[in-house]
Amino acid sequence: MKIEGPGKSAPSSNVKKTQKKSGDGGGFLEALSGTDESSGVTGASATHSIANIDLLLSAQSVEDPTEKAARQRMKLRAGLLLNELEKVRHGMLTGELTVGNMIDVADVVTSHREKIADPQLTAILDEIDLRAQIEIAKMKMALDAKEVRNG
């Protein structure tokens, strides 16, 4: 039955139109291959489309050698920084914290600082560097005051 407007209806003609079923699963493959089910997508071409997707995914997973080397350098520096921070913590707990410990921390943070894409990591490193510089200045002032009293 065909509806032509308000209150009017007429029986539909005998011409049959093929409609896609919404759950036939062909839409995804059609979108990838740019073809229509009515144009004759076969199982072989659908498999070919899936193979192309697998190829793209595997190409994306290949790691860049320069990126890998940069990541290894960053891991090494992170390990050095953690070791220096551990020395500072130990020095604070034992009362044997020296200016040298703080200078070592500041040197590790500032040395060969590569471009870091993560803004949170950059902010953390900036805070560590600032705190180390403040502690160095405080220790130097305390040493200078001690020299003035003794000398």
Q: 16: phi > 0 → left, psi -120 to 50 → alpha, else beta; which?
A: beta
Domain residue extents for the chain? 27-62, 65-150
Per-residue pLDDT of the chain (151 residues; tens, 9 = 90+): 566 666 665 555 555 555 545 455 555 555 555 555 555 555 556 666 777 777 777 776 767 778 788 788 888 888 888 888 898 889 889 988 888 888 888 888 887 666 677 788 888 888 988 988 998 999 899 888 888 888 6
DSSP symbols for 17-82: -----TTSSHHHHHHHHT--GGG---HHHHHHHHHHHHHHHHHHTPPPHHHHHHHHHHHHHHHHHH
Residues whose CB is less than 8 angstroms from the CB of residue 32 and which lie 6 or more positions away in sequence, other chains included: 49, 52, 53
Give the pLDDT of residue 14: 54
Give the pLDDT of residue 70: 78
Chain centroid offset of residue 82 CA: 22
Give the pLDDT of residue 29: 52
Give the pLDDT of residue 94: 92
Give the pLDDT of residue 30: 56
């062909």: which residue's tokens? 26
